[in-house]
Amino acid sequence: MSLPQAPRRQLLKRLPRTCAIRIEFQSPSPRCFLSTTATRSSAPRRRSPDNETMQRVKRLQQAKLAKDQSLQGIDKAEKEKEYQKRYKSAARKWTASIIALPILLVTSYYLFDRLVGGNKQKEMPKQSALGALPEPR
């Protein structure tokens, strides 16, 4: 056992098995740094993780994926709710303007006609007590 590997092996013995495997897969061997060219024979051999570790990794990935999907669903629902709120507000304003516009135009026309044109307000003829015909003038 070489000198740089001795502390590493002691550290790996103290760590939990999953941490040790993760460190073993992520960090290269010190032998890679000693030679400038790495050949297949000098490359360190990595042992494959056991079935239990693979299952644990798979469960963690599935949990992370499920969490991400649920967050996306929540974001999508919030966006949909916000969109509906803005849509209803705009629809209400549009409907109010469609109803108010003709009333505004007609009222403005009659007011303009009375003020500028000099026309007087029309009067309703008074009905007689019998209510049949209006009185002649």
Question: Cβ(120)–Cβ(114) under 8 Å?
Answer: yes
pLDDT tens digits in sequence order for the chain, 137 residues long: 455 566 666 666 666 665 545 555 555 555 545 555 555 556 666 667 688 888 888 888 888 888 777 777 778 888 899 999 999 999 999 999 999 999 999 999 999 999 998 888 878 888 765 566 665 65
Residue 21, Cβ density class (10 Å: 0-12 exposed, 13-18 middle, ≥19 buried)? buried
Model confidence, pTM: 0.35
Residue 20 has a pLDDT of 47
Residue 63 has a pLDDT of 85
